[in-house]
């Protein structure tokens, strides 16, 4: 489907679909994914040529300041997703199902996913977990809604795990993760995210699966990578895992700009004669 609603530089945009991602995997072309939660950021990211935008429940941390991803609500996710969708010309937009809206209840998973798709216009949903959420994944897929899986460090289960350390380092957990990855593929997921697991394990999963495997802290053997945009831009300071590459230090740059603005207002330098009517 062609589109050029937001980017005047683009004559015609070939939209990224789940099939395009599958084709990229087949060709060995890496998939780039970033998070976005608002219109302005999503527009910049989309126009930079990103393949997938994730409206992650990390919005709970990044946008709302919660310690975990658990408190964010369905309506809040829909608000973020709608803002992102209004900005997009090209990227595939995937939305996290928030905690408590799909686990142990496939009917609720379906209703939640339909509400997200209808009210935000998103293209796909993401769920955390393996065989314990199989019924939910199946039921959502039965409505024609593409599902992305998420294994390894699954932040919605933080109180079960107790820490944000690397997952599946031991053989039995690694074996379970491989089985879950196959199960998600067999159930019909179009891609999976692997978070914070050993690089060799992630590479093995990516090799065994025919659907794209997107890594975060899972090494270079995955079919694509995802980062939280605010982290890779250096807007957040407190979060510094080994896997995070910071492309800017926006915390400092923005802080300097704000300080200069305050100085200019206080010193009556702003606004000057040219900046008024």
Q: List active site positions.
A: 195
- Which range, of 51-59, 79-87, 176-184, 238-246, touches ligand KIV by CB under 6 A? 51-59
Burial letters 204-240, b for 16+ CB under 10 A, else e: bbbeebebbbbbbbbbebbbbbbbbbbbbbbbbeeee
Contacts of 214 (CB under 8 A, 6+ apart): 31, 33, 52, 191, 192, 193, 194, 222, 223, 224, 225, 226
Shortest CB 23 distance to ligand KIV, Å: 22
CA distance 266 to 148: 51
Residue with smaller CB distance to ligand KIV, 13 or 224? 224
Q: How far is the CB of 267 from ligand KIV (least distance, A)?
A: 41
The answer to whether 228 contacts ligand KIV (rule: CB under 6 A) is yes
Pattern of binders to ligand KIV over 20-39, x per CB under 6 A?
A: ---------------x----
Contact pick of 46, 89, 96, 185 for ligand KIV (by CB under 6 A): 96
Query: Which of residues 226, 230, 231, 236 is near ligand KIV by CB under 6 A?
Result: 226
Q: Is 46 in the site for ligand KIV (CB under 6 A)?
A: no
187 binds ligand KIV, rule: CB under 6 A: no
| Cα 94 to the center of its chain, rounded Å | 7
* Residue, CB closest to ligand KIV: 56
Residue 156 lies near ligand KIV (rule: CB under 6 A): no
Residue 173 Cβ, how far from ligand KIV at the closest point, in Å? 19
In SS3 terms, 31-84 reads as EEEEECCCHHHHHHHHHCCCCEEEECCCHHHHCCCCCCCCCCCHHHHHHHHHHH
By CB under 6 A, how many residues form the interface with ligand KIV?
Answer: 11
57 contacts ligand KIV (rule: CB under 6 A): yes
Half-sphere exposure of 140 (CA within 13 A, CB side): 36
Residues that bind ligand KIV (CB under 6 A): 35, 54, 56-58, 96, 193, 195, 216, 226, 228
């Amino acid at each position: 489907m062609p589109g050029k609603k937001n980017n005047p530089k683009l004559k015609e945009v070939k939209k990224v679909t789940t099939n395009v991602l599958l084709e990229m995997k087949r060709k060995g072309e890496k998939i780039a994914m970033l998070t976005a939660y608002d219109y302005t950021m999503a527009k910049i990211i989309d126009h930079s040529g990103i393949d997938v935008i994730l409206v992650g429940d990390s919005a709970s941390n990044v946008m709302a300041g919660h310690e975990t991803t658990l408190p964010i609500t369905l309506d809040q996710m829909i608000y973020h997703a709608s803002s992102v969708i209004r900005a997009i010309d090209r990227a595939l937009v995937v939305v996290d199902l928030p905690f408590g809206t799909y686990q142990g209840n496939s009917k609720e998973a379906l209703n939640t996913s339909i509400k997200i798709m209808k009210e935000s216009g998103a293209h796909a949903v993401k769920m955390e977990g393996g065989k314990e959420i199989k019924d939910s994944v199946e039921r959502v897929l039965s409505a024609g809604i593409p599902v992305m899986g998420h294994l390894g460090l699954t932040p919605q289960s933080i109180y079960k795990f107790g820490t944000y350390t690397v997952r599946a380092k031991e053989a039995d957990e690694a074996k379970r993760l491989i089985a879950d990855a196959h199960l998600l593929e067999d159930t019909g997921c179009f891609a999976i995210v692997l978070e914070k697991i050993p690089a060799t394990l992630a590479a093995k999963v990516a090799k065994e699966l025919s659907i794209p495997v997107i890594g975060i802290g899972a090494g270079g053997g995955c079919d694509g990578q995802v980062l939280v945009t605010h982290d890779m831009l250096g807007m957040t300071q407190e979060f510094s895992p080994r896997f995070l590459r910071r492309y800017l230090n926006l915390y400092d740059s923005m802080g300097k700009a704000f300080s200069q603005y305050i100085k200019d207002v206080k010193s009556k330098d702003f606004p000057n004669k040219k900046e008024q009517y």
